[in-house]
Amino acid sequence: MADPRLPTTFISGSRAGDPLLTDGVLRPIDWTGDVDGCIVMIDQTLLPNERRIIECRDTRSVHDAIRRLAVRGAPAIGVAGAFGAILAAREAAIGDRTGFLQRFNAICDHLAAARPTGANLRWAVNRMKHRAASICTSSSPSAAADPCEIARALLNEARAIRDEDAAMCRAIGRFGEPLIPDGGGVMTYCNAGALATAEYGTALAPMYEAQSRGRRFTVFANETRPLLQGARLTAWELSRAGVDVVLICDNMAAQVMKERRVQLVITGADRIAANGDTANKIGTYGLAQLARAHDIPFYVAAPSSTFDLSIAAGDAIPIEQRDPGEIREPFGVSIAPKMVSCYCPAFDVTPAELIRGIITERGIIHPVTPARVAAMIGHQV
């Protein structure tokens, strides 16, 4: 490991690779180099107009990237948190060894609070904390653990989280694929694709899987105001993959359903409570209501790391409020009186009763009941 006391702006000798281009697979975030390396990520705020890769060499820049949505999507934020913990270890290594774990945990806790609603960030950071703690406690009582040893273990752990997320997405794709109607239409919301995960996606995974099997279908992508992840990210990544995609404004979803253009809705999730209530991007709840009104099955796709079994029901999930400027001045364009009040929740909660099934890497939870959730997800890491 490089000297942990080097400033966090230290730049590794190896040129950061473009995660977009690695063997043709779209990966929004990765770690480059050894323990002295850094996080590389696509700045998703600039897509699709610009593909810029940014590097995070300290936890402050990771926190900032999560906060301003350069990386977004609960699973991808989880991966950011996992890799961020390596940077936390580097920062915590500055100082006496006996205080390392305390400093490390404090930095991790700050990182985990970058956004409040998604489950994966806390889940991943906690897993990294447990890993660090297990090494520290297993060290001989006479000598505190070597920061180099800890950092290397954390890098392995973070890579495992990344690889497990990718594998979970592939499994979600296989379980969800039979739902995709041949010759029909599917609706999705926000971006729960490759850009929201380590790779491949959650809600989009069944579509990619169906596409790879030669099935023909059309995806209706809701643009997802205020930050337009559906227009900027989902339309872009589906087009890039050769999937037939039609972009609509969020307020057109009901009409598309009424015209029977879609036979299925699949969205991602940011946190799922023990009873199956699902927090996801604001607008998901309304979409689920509209799907019910049109008798169209509404599915959620998420890995087990998005479940939070410590929360019994959705009303206990904290909902992030965002800056009204995201509504009033989208992308720098003033579209409303400057001083007008806005209400800007970033998420809503879809009650389990509106969800036909939850597609996980272990199978589909259906019907969505506390017992079925417990049976499928009962043992969280």
Contacting positions for its own copies (CB under 8 A):
48-49, 220, 222-226, 228, 231-232, 235-236, 239, 244-256, 258, 282-283, 285-287, 289-290, 292-293, 324, 327-328, 330-337, 339-345, 348
Measured from the Cβ of residue 27, the count of other Cβ atoms closer than 10 Å reads 25
Minimum CB–partner distance for residue 290 and its own copies (Å)? 6
Tokens for 156, please give them: 């392995």
Minimum CB–partner distance for residue 228 and its own copies (Å)? 5
Residues 308 and 116: their CA atoms lie apart, in Å, by: 13
List the Cα angle 284/290/296 in 5-degree steps: 100
Residues 310 and 321: their CA atoms lie apart, in Å, by: 22
Which one of 30, 270, 308, 348 is the catalytic residue? 270
SS3 (DSSP) at 35 = coil
Q: What strand order describes the sheet that includes 278-281?
A: 307-308, 271-273, 278-281, 347-350
Q: What one-character-per-residue DSSP string does 127-165 give?
A: HHHHHHHHHHHHS-TTSPPPHHHHHHHHHHHHHHHHHHH
Residues 18 and 30: their CA atoms lie apart, in Å, by: 9
Residues 30 and 12: their CA atoms lie apart, in Å, by: 15
Q: Which is nearer to its own copies, 338 or 379 (CB)?
A: 338
Q: Which is nearer to its own copies, 13 or 183 (CB)?
A: 183
Measured from the Cβ of residue 225, the count of other Cβ atoms closer than 10 Å reads 17
Q: Which is nearer to its own copies, 105 or 289 (CB)?
A: 289
Minimum CB–partner distance for residue 342 and its own copies (Å)? 5
Q: Which is nearer to its own copies, 32 or 218 (CB)?
A: 218
Q: Which is nearer to its own copies, 56 or 227 (CB)?
A: 227
Tokens for 379, please give them: 């043992």
Minimum CB–partner distance for residue 42 and its own copies (Å)? 15
Tokens 């936890």 correspond to 59
Tokens 């592939």 correspond to 170
Minimum CB–partner distance for residue 362 and its own copies (Å)? 30
Whether the bond into 324 is cis, omega within 30 of 0:
no
Q: Which is nearer to its own copies, 222 or 278 (CB)?
A: 222
Residue 163: active-site member: no
172 in Cβ contact with 126 (< 8 Å): no
Minimum CB–partner distance for residue 354 and its own copies (Å)? 10
List the Cα angle 359/365/368 in 5-degree steps: 120
Q: Which is nearer to its own copies, 84 or 226 (CB)?
A: 226
Minimum CB–partner distance for residue 51 and its own copies (Å)? 12
Residues 364 and 362: their CA atoms lie apart, in Å, by: 7
* Residue numbers annotated as active site: 270
